[in-house]
Amino acid sequence: MYNLHAHTFLSDGDLLPSEVAVRYQDKGYTVIAITDHADYSNIKQVIKSIVEFCRRWPKDSHIKVLPGIELTHLPPEQFKPLASLARKKGIKIIVAHGETPVEPVAQNTNHLSLLANIDILAHPGLISDEDTKLAAKRGIFLEITSRHGHNQTNTHVIKQARKFGAKLILNHDSHSPQDIISPEQLIQLGKDCGLTQTEIDKIYQDVKTFLIKIEHS
């Protein structure tokens, strides 16, 4: 089981990366990504810390911790250069902070982030037909989230993904201990939003294939 969207006190989370990893392991997860928020003000420092932490995480641990980043509230034209920088510095999972309905996200964030080298468009809000098609074409995951507020548009995202064949991912977007729910609770969240068991199985297979790919990149 996986969660590829988690925050620590390197940005606005409550916990050390090590405690985040231990708490996810205790819930039964086997793979997580640390994806702290970043823009031009902090990206180099955050990447350095996350990559170093993941490099030193025990290889024989029951949970694998991948280095990630969430590019957050950027002027949309900055997604391409910052995604490129993150890749060069060793980041494996790049999340874009999408156009959630509960924050003042810049217009065209969804579109221009999908044109950058990202892996996941987080909480994409009322994503348009055009941008859903673009996500499908580029193989970028659209996030179904358990995060309060951001989860208001999960049902819309699922409908759009079905309509245009875009890939989905189930994520926590965790910031604090209470955000770390069990795999069973995360799956139930997906079902409560309208996903079938067949669709959930496909989501996990798509993510497994993706993780195998980045492991060898």
Question: For residue 146, what pLDDT is reported?
Answer: 97
* 175-215 pLDDT per residue, tens: 999 999 999 999 999 999 999 999 999 999 999 999 999 98
- Paired residues of 93 in beta bridges: 68
Question: For residue 216, what pLDDT is reported?
Answer: 81
Residues 6+ apart with CB under 8 A from 120: 4, 5, 93, 94, 95, 96, 140, 141, 142, 143, 169, 171
pLDDT over 80 (residue 217)? no
**Measured distance CA(105)–CA(107) in Å, rounded:** 6
CATH (residue range 2-215): 3.20.20.140
* 52-111 pLDDT per residue, tens: 999 999 999 999 999 999 999 999 999 999 999 999 999 999 999 999 999 999 999 999
**SS3 call for 141:** strand
* Domain locations in the chain as residue ranges: 2-215
* 1-48 pLDDT per residue, tens: 999 999 999 999 999 999 999 999 999 999 999 999 999 999 999 999
